[in-house]
Homo-oligomer: A and B are copies of this chain.
């Protein structure tokens, strides 16, 4: 595979490389790692790329790789650039026949996301969208418990993503991450809601199997001088009648990344949080709560397929990320071999989740600006 973006000093590119290296089944052989040529070259060398496959322009890379013989050229490309540089390389990659990995939010606009879907439908290629938290074994277990009806009909969802790293005007210091993520020209319509609200939204829909149909949001710019929302919350209505509350903030001073979800059905509820990622608490109306654990022999095939080591040895964020890559690789490998991917492999976020996420950005921003309480969730 090849990477677009993610040169030295970039944050998420290095994370992707750990994730894709993890299981020894994916090899990064090419890269266009920065828009700055010198950085692209130096980064490629540091990563031991063949010098012929270190590119300073992603378009050139996609051209050249496409021209290689099938057994040499890359199978997919990971695009880890800021949001406003997602769509063009993704479309071109698909045009050249490459599968695509994209960071969330999938594109800059909902329209772009829909265009990507059309292209994917036309080409039959695959896309992985990095909603990393869905890669945790206990998140998958939660989804399966609900899917199997264990909790009964779902009634209530609380999902939250509190961060504190933007409690100060960090973009004023020139810090790279803060700068582009708070810039409407690079990040899109939403700040906090695009960056982490989309994760919370995705978690809610992924775990429950439900879809949001109405939304009422309130977004804030808390830190003076900031251009995009750095805090907000939304009431949600789901297509089965359940309701929910979504909270995302980047100004909760002292908070790290403890994304957390609670779902309640008629018979019981469940709770998962990243801080204790290997535990899934399941609560019941009339019997003791249970603690499902990563690696437990009682887990579903979806959880155990995504577990690497014996219970009690914590698996973390990088393993969750690795699970996304592994399932994506298993799927495209099966497809290339004309085999049917297993259901467990196909359980990774893709274009549908990307479109829902972009719709969330649109809807949450529009509702935030409206004086009317409820807004239909439109896609």
Contact = CB atoms under 8 A, between A and B. Distances in A.
Contact of A283 (B251, B253, B295, B374): B253
Which range contains the number of A residues in contact with the other chain? 35 or more
Contacts of A17: 24
A268 interface: yes
B286 A297 contact: yes
Interface centre among A14, A156, A309 (most CB of B within 10 A): A156
A155 B254 contact: no
A121 interface: no
A171 interface: no
Given A21-B21, A309-B15, A251 B264 contact: yes
A269 B233 CA distance: 18
B318 A317 contact: no
A164 to B, nearest CB: 6
Contacts of A313: 256-257, 274, 316-318
B264 A252 contact: yes
Given A268-B254, A275-B314, A309-B318, A289 B286 contact: no
A277 B314 contact: yes
A222 B265 CA distance: 11
A48 B216 CA distance: 52
Contacts of A373: 216, 218, 370-373
B295 A267 contact: no
Nearest to A298: B287
A262 interface: yes
A254 to B, nearest CB: 3
B243 A245 contact: no
A291 B291 contact: yes
Interface of A: 11, 14-15, 17-18, 21-24, 28, 47-48, 151-152, 155-156, 158, 160, 162-165, 167-168, 216, 218, 220, 222, 231, 233, 235, 243, 245, 247, 249, 251-258, 262, 264-269, 274-277, 281-293, 295-298, 308-319, 370-374
